[in-house]
């Protein structure tokens, strides 16, 4: 009976994860470390990045196509590993999932963390233009804790900088310094990395603030929220050797380099034009 119960509780269907490019790999890596038995299907929409300068309607269109593709692969949960898509297309993805598959975005777990896990007085938020213009972090934080001051700053060059492989060098340090020196981020005690690309440059950001500001890494927070969701929904994969699949809408050199940095080996990328096949 115990063996039968174990089998019933074991769900080896993959976790579906998507982002505009390599940024969501920070989330995938955190999931891999926290839940090593899980299978993952990752879709990086490298043909359309960055999402941050796209209209909400366009972002919803891209997110809908990716969601249909992940559902066709029988993913047991969908993780929107992109702040811009989370802020603009979460409801679209939920509606397409139709209540059959749970959906997790990267904004709500971070907001919950800020509200319940610290005594922050002044939170900074950096992200793409679309994420910052949506004001989603400030609105959600103020809804629960109006006393927290939230200062938001768009940092649109970070994503293309990272996607082009400019990290840990003079160019990236200059861009980081230029943005983070802005008055909006003066006197903050916590900084939300409001884009899943940004944990890749977390050490550089930390160094700029002389390690005196709490840098809130959405990847780890989201992985913890996902684990809690999978336990509650009885969806954990408790056994077996994991296998991961990586799909991209365009092959880019930086994706290979950064994916190897996280997964410590070359990953096999499959090029997929899902919009053409979805009509």
C-alpha pair distances (Å), 191 with each of 146, 212, 222: 17, 11, 16
C-alpha pair distances (Å), 115 with each of 118, 147, 190, 209: 7, 11, 12, 22
Give the active site residue among 7, 75, 195, 268.
195
> From edge to edge, which strands make up the β-sheet containing 122-127?
149-154, 122-127, 190-193, 214-216
C-alpha pair distances (Å), 189 with each of 125, 135, 144, 163, 262: 11, 19, 19, 28, 28
Active site residue 82: yes
Q: Of 97, 95, 84, nearest to 45 (Cα)?
A: 84
Q: What tokens does 252 get?
A: 């880019």
**Distance of alpha carbon 241 from alpha carbon 139, whole angstroms:** 42
Q: Of 47, 71, 269, 254, nearest to 165 (Cα)?
A: 254
CA dihedral 162, 156, 219, 76 (to 10 degrees): -100
List residues with catalytic annotation.
Answer: 82, 195
């Amino acid at each position: 009976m115990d063996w039968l119960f174990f089998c019933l509780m074991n769900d080896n269907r993959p976790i579906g994860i998507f982002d505009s490019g390599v940024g969501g790999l920070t989330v995938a890596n955190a999931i891999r470390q926290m839940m090593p038995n899980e299978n993952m299907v990752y879709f990086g929409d490298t043909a359309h990045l960055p999402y941050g300068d796209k209209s909400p309607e366009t972002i919803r269109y891209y997110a809908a196509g990716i969601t249909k593709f992940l559902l066709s692969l029988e993913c047991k949960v969908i993780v929107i590993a992109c702040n811009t898509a989370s802020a603009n297309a979460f409801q679209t993805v939920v509606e397409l999932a139709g209540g059959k598959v749970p959906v997790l975005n990267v904004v709500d777990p971070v907001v919950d963390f800020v509200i319940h896990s610290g005594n922050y007085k002044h939170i900074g938020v950096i992200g793409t233009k679309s994420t910052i213009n949506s004001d989603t972090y400030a609105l959600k934080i103020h809804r629960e804790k109006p006393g927290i001051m939230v200062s938001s700053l768009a940092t649109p060059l970070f994503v293309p900088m990272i996607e082009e492989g400019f990290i840990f060098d003079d160019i990236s340090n200059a861009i980081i310094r230029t943005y983070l020196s802005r008055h909006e981020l003066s006197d903050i005690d916590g900084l939300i990395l409001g884009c899943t690309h940004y944990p890749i440059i977390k050490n550089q950001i930390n160094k700029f603030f002389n390690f005196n500001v709490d840098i809130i890494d959405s990847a780890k927070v989201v992985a913890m929220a996902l684990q809690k969701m999978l336990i509650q929904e009885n969806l954990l994969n408790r056994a077996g050797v994991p296998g991961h699949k990586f799909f991209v809408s365009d092959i880019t050199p930086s994706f290979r380099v950064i994916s190897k940095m996280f997964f410590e080996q070359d990953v096999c990328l499959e090029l997929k034009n899902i919009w053409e096949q979805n009509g």
